[in-house]
Amino acid sequence: MIVLSYALARRSGKDYETLLRERLLVPLGMNETYVAQRPSHVRLAQGHLPNAMPAAPWDFHPDMAGVGGVRATLPDMLRYLEGQLGTRESAITPALARTQEQVANVDGHRMGMNWNLSTRNGHTRISHEGGTGGYSSFAGFDRAAKRGVVLLSDTALTSNGGLGSLGFHLLDPSSPAGVPRVVATADAKLIDALVGKYRLQGGLGIELRHNGNGLTIQADGQPEFQMGYDSAGDFYPLKFDALLRPKRKADGTYTFTWFQGGGVLEAERLGPPVAVASQWTPTEAQLADYVGSYPLTPNLALRVFSAGAKLFVQGTNQRSLELASVERDVFVAESVGAEIDFERGDSDKVVSLTLKQRGQVLQGERH
């Protein structure tokens, strides 16, 4: 999109901000949206990192503002969605409608012209989520319901999930809103299992170390930073915006995924992993303890079933996956980065489970 905005400016013979104003902003009455020439009555909000430290906005050459360089107020964004919904008639209404048409489908991920397309309860949801230095945003709408949602945040939330779940909940209350992340304490065994040297995709070396009851991180040629931990099961540096998501493997050892600046990098451990206890190998009778249905949300339940000496899980309208046992009551589906922990009641019977996957922690009672 940066290249596209540059190409459009070159092709038109005008700078991108002028082109944007003529072709989009003026027809929709968006008088508070700009790239470099801020209207005198518009105030730029102070941006922040997730730890509440101030952050500077990203600045681009105006002709390269196609990603992260256009700034708008909430009223202007509502005018934009009215244009997309067709409730604010203008000369560009047909062009806006064309941007919503599907142009690609990659592994079930449907895209319009920079719009994500998804279907829920028979309704097509059209959305785009983004973030820049210190800020996050979400815009989504349902043309059939004539409903649109805009969320603007003065905090960079890209690494830890963004505003999507809340935005979709406002579009359709049957979508779960998600829960806030709060500071938590990491299990000492988890920290022990993560400590070591790694290499990220692209070659950067990373070392994780003990620091009292916590964890520190140091990249090649950089200072060492203290890590915090949150209720979603992720570690995060206290001094900059990034996220370390532990990922348990089928053999019980850990690696992690690193999120920073919109990038997602897998880590490969260098050298032998921390020794883990011998894997627990359940019998067919023991696997029967876990069989059942576990509703997690109004629209998602996990069906756990066994076949021979193997345990499987299947989410609503999803394919079944084999689970690997890493210890008693703990199973992993490594291919989708999921860990399932079963909980037992007073009579030692399994009563619920907790699904940990992609920064989400969902719990469901056994039915």
- DSSP for 74-116, written as a single string: HHHHHHHHHHHHT-S--TTHHHHHHHTS--EEETTEEESSS-E
Which pLDDT belongs to residue 280? Answer: 80
The rounded distance, in Å, linking the Cα atoms of 275 and 155 is 39
**What's the confidence (pLDDT) of residue 278?**
59
Q: Which residues of 131-154 are buried (b: 16+ CB within 10 A; e: fewer)?
A: bbbbbbbbbbbbbeeebbbbbebe
- Quote the tokens at residue 344: 């037992």
Can you tell me the distance from the alpha carbon of 235 to that of 244, in angstroms, rounded to the nearest whole number? 5
Q: Could you give the residue range(s) of every CATH 2.40.128.50 domain in the chain?
A: 188-270, 284-365
Q: How many CA atoms lie within 13 A of 334 on its CB side?
A: 12
How high is the pLDDT of residue 28? 97
* Both structure tokens of 266: 């897998």
Report the CATH architecture of 188-270: Beta Barrel (2.40)
What are the helix (H) ranges across 201-324? 284-287
Residue 95 burial class via C-beta count within 10 angstroms: exposed 0-12, middle 13-18, buried 19 and up: middle
Q: Which residues contact 126 (CB under 8 A, 6 or more apart)?
A: 84, 100, 112, 115, 116, 117, 140, 141, 142, 143
Q: How far apart are CA 237 and CA 181, in angstroms?
A: 15
Residue 157 CA to residue 4 CA, distance in Å, equals 26
Q: Which backbone phi and psi does 176 adopt, to 5 degrees?
A: -65, 140
Q: Under a CB-based contact definition with an 8 Å cutoff, are residues 1 and 63 in contact?
A: no
pLDDT < 50 positions in the chain: none
CB 199: neighbour CB atoms within 10 A?
16
Q: Which CATH topology does 2-171 take?
A: Beta-lactamase (3.40.710)
Q: Which residue has the tokens 């990192």?
A: 49
Q: Which two three-digit tokens encode residue 304? A: 């756990």
Residue 276: its pLDDT value, please? 61
Assigned architecture for domain 284-365: Beta Barrel (2.40)
Report the candidate in 256, 271, 267, 282 with the shortest Cα–Cα distance to residue 359.
256
pTM of the predicted model, to two decimals?
0.78
Question: What are the tens digits of pLDDT across the range 16-71?
Answer: 999 999 999 999 999 999 999 999 999 999 999 888 889 988 888 999 999 889 99
pLDDT at res. 71? 94
Q: What is the pLDDT of residue 275?
A: 63
Kindly calculate the radius of gyration of the chain based on its CA atoms and give it in whole angstroms. Answer: 24
pLDDT per residue as tens digits for the range 324-335: 998 899 999 998
